[in-house]
Amino acid sequence: QRCVPSCTFTAALLGLEGAHALEGDLDSLSDFIERGVRYVGLQHFFDNEAGGSMHGEEKGGLTAWGRKLVRRMERANILVDLTHASSAVIADV
């Protein structure tokens, strides 16, 4: 069905605000994807298993687990959200 100029759309994406919700388990990403998640913010307000947050204490780069997570997200066509990531994480991604 075509939309005429007066037509408006509302869209939303289901996502995770911080990979800490995965609890360090890469396989749990598949569970979230099955439930409709289409993006994952690697960090939120603190450093986690994936790497450093811009608000965190260490502000480090991607961890080994974080690199695996990003690769798995890329294979699954899941958006990598860097909104709260540290500068080091952004450079690593």
pLDDT digits (tens, 9 = 90+) for 18-54: 999 999 999 999 999 999 999 999 999 999 999 999 9
Mean pLDDT, all residues of the chain: 94
Determine whether 34 is exposed, middle or buried from the number of CB atoms within 10 Å of its CB (0-12, 13-18, 19+).
Answer: exposed
Rg of the chain (C-alpha set) = 15
Average pLDDT over residues 48-67: 97
**Percentage of the chain surpassing pLDDT 70?**
95
Single-letter code of the amino acid located at 85: A
Question: Residue 77: its pLDDT value, please?
Answer: 98
Using DSSP bridges, classify how beta strands 37-41 and 14-17 pair: parallel, antiparallel or unpaired: parallel
**Percentage of the chain surpassing pLDDT 90?**
88
Question: Residue 9: its pLDDT value, please?
Answer: 78
DSSP of 8-58: ------EEEESGGGGTT-TTHHHHHHHTTEEEEES-SSS-BTTB-BTTSSS
Contacts of 73 (CB under 8 A, 6+ apart): 29, 40, 79, 80
